[in-house]
Amino acid sequence: MRATKFGHGGNLLGNHGIDRQRPFNPFSFAEHGDFVSGLYMALFVMNFVIVGVLLFATRWIALVTQIDDRLLGMATLCFAMVGTYSTSYRITDPIIAAAFGVFGYFLRTYNIPMVPITLGIILGPIAEERFRQALGASAGDLSVFITRPISAIILVAILLLIGRGIQTWHKEQNLAQAAA
């Protein structure tokens, strides 16, 4: 199955487009009503199957909490490395995953929050793509980010939050120097 960013329904839609040798477009819902209704019916039935499995398997799933943490951690690490390698069969992918694991360990050791870094890694490329689209639509004019009211409000809010963060950091540094 071809992997897409839309989950299982996206996989079915992507494979439908591949099998028919033409891309799946918005009009495909009207043109292929039988496929779309079958897709929605499968997703609907899948919810009941999942609920049924969880109703009967909850007791055994809860037993996972009694497994030794070290064993569970090693199993999770092994599955993560195998999964990382199996996506593209390159040895560099597990090495990069291990490097990020070490990076995360140091972040946790020095009490540096991981959430902002994770959000930056995930949302950074999306924001960059949208930034390029906005610049392309405005022929490279940066004033598009301040001439629209909502853009100006968001930009001012970002600048205020950054300024507040810097102010708090300076305050903490001054308190640390005064205590030392």
**pLDDT value, residue 22:** 60
Specify the amino acid at residue 3.
Answer: A
The tokens of 91 are what? 């040895």
- Mean residue pLDDT across the chain: 84
Say how far apart CA 73 and CA 98 lie, in whole Å.
14
**pLDDT value, residue 79:** 95
Say how far apart CA 27 and CA 42 lie, in whole Å.
21
Say how far apart CA 84 and CA 87 lie, in whole Å.
6
- CA-based max dimension of the chain: 73
Give the length of the chain: 180
**pLDDT value, residue 142:** 84
Specify the amino acid at residue 79.
Answer: F
Contact 11, 2 (CB under 8 A): yes
Block residue for tokens 């102010």? 167
What is the C-alpha R_g of the chain? Answer: 24
pLDDT tens-place string over residues 79-120: 999 999 999 999 999 999 999 999 989 999 998 888 888 888
**pLDDT value, residue 97:** 92
pLDDT tens-place string over residues 118-172: 888 899 999 899 889 988 888 888 888 888 888 889 989 999 999 999 999 899 9
pLDDT tens-place string over residues 31-50: 878 888 888 999 999 999 99
